[in-house]
Amino acid sequence: MAEHTTAPTDIASSTSGIATAATAATVATAPAPAPAPYAAPERPINVAILGAGRIAQKMATTLTLMAQDPTFRVYAKPYAVASRDQARADEFAAQYGIPVAYGSYAQMLDDPEVDLVYIATPHSLHAGQAIACMEAGKHVLVEKAFTVNAEQAQHVIDVSRQTGRLCAEAIWTRYMPSRAMIRRLVEDGTIGDVCALSANLSYPTTHKQRIVDPKLAGGALLDVGVYPLNFIDMAIGCDGGGRSIARMETAMIPYKTGVDAQSTTTLFYDDGVMAVSTCSLLAVSDRDGAIWGTDGYLMCRNVNNVERIDVYDRDHALTRSIPVPAQLTGYEYEVAACASAIAAGSTECPDMPHADTLRMMQLLDQIRERWGLRYPCE
């Protein structure tokens, strides 16, 4: 559920000796244009935030900035926050200028003015809360990991279809402009035929009880491991059904609480492409995503929120350094996608349709099954 961002760095200072500052300056391209906005709803939707933790704070910041931005204010506005404690909800609402504060989740479900509920609670609570919201007539945007397992995910998706309410997974990298930028570079032959990939994401987070608690479905895989796996999936087009996993090898080191502390997973695809995903809640990593081809390779800096894409040729020379568009926080894309899908009467977002959410949850299940890791709530 946690998100981590880093401000874009200066191109010349971040090439790590592969190219000189002067060289980097010559190959740097102009910032990519802002993406075409999603089709706007007739009015901005009212968003309620379920939960008042750190990830909820980032969404509150996002909604506040969207309401002030000429491009994104047409999509959504902050309306409410729900906590299990009225004082905490009041404090949260006052801090972010949110009009309504509920001291219980039930109060939020009873409010007919709520259009979309952003669920920002631990993984173990997502399924039950999403179902309750949809049965109360609310659309939902559910933080990743979407649920604890694929069985829960299927149940949530079934309720979405039964109620006609939108249900989307809030894995922000699926909605960002960097996704299409990377795919274009892969598909236009810039690096030749793709042969292999690697992606990693690691942060020392054992001090956070939620992340190491098996009762809350903690561990590195569901917290940060979803990002390198989704990066790989998007980069080589598995989301479009172009290739499938033929074989998998995976191993993990457990934390003292029993959850996974760090792991590596190697995926072998049916067309010979190989990909390695690594994650940890113990270490600091470079967070890079690498795509290796027959004519060169791409280095995507920070798979959790790609800051720029460095293109290298066969001789390891940096030929282009492509920054991504400026963003409010990065969350604005998933909110705008939901608002547009709701206006269209859809129960899913094209950027992360139900089939992709379910497929990724099935992969996470398969990885944990190999480890023999089950959560008490399963």
Q: Please check whether residue 219 is in contact with residue 307, taking contact to mean a CB–CB distance below 8 angstroms.
A: no
Q: Please check whether residue 290 is in contact with residue 197, taking contact to mean a CB–CB distance below 8 angstroms.
A: yes
Q: How many CB atoms sit inside 10 A of residue 226's CB? A: 26
Question: Which has the closest alpha carbon to 25: 40, 35, 15?
Answer: 15
Each residue's pLDDT, cut to its tens digit, for the chain (378 residues) gives 444 433 333 222 232 333 333 333 334 444 544 555 799 999 999 999 999 999 999 999 999 999 999 999 999 999 999 999 999 999 999 999 999 999 999 999 999 999 999 999 999 999 999 999 999 999 999 999 999 999 999 999 999 999 999 999 999 999 999 999 999 999 999 999 999 999 999 999 999 999 999 999 999 999 999 999 999 999 987 766 678 999 999 999 999 999 999 999 999 999 999 999 999 999 999 999 999 999 999 999 999 999 999 999 999 999 999 999 999 999 999 999 999 999 999 999 999 999 999 999 999 999 999 999 999 999
DSSP 172: G
Report the pLDDT value the prediction gives residue 17, as an integer from 0 to 100. 32
d(CA 69, CA 39): 16
pTM score over 0.85: yes
Residues 6 or more apart whose Cβ sits within 8 Å of residue 209:
none
Report the pLDDT value the prediction gives residue 243, as an integer from 0 to 100. 84
d(CA 255, CA 229): 21
DSSP 194: E
Q: Please check whether residue 103 is in contact with residue 126, taking contact to mean a CB–CB distance below 8 angstroms.
A: no
Whole-number Cα distances in Å, 159 to 5, 118, 297:
33, 17, 43
Measure the CA angle with vertex 204, ends 201 and 205; round to 5°. 105
Q: Please check whether residue 143 is in contact with residue 127, taking contact to mean a CB–CB distance below 8 angstroms.
A: no
d(CA 168, CA 144): 10
Report the pLDDT value the prediction gives residue 242, as an integer from 0 to 100. 72
What angle, 0 to 180 degrees and rounded to 10, lies between the N-to-C axes of helices 354-371 and 226-235? 130
Question: Which has the closest alpha carbon to 141: 221, 75, 220?
Answer: 75
DSSP 103: S
SS3 127: helix
Report the pLDDT value the prediction gives residue 34, as an integer from 0 to 100. 59
Token pair of 221, please? 């895989």
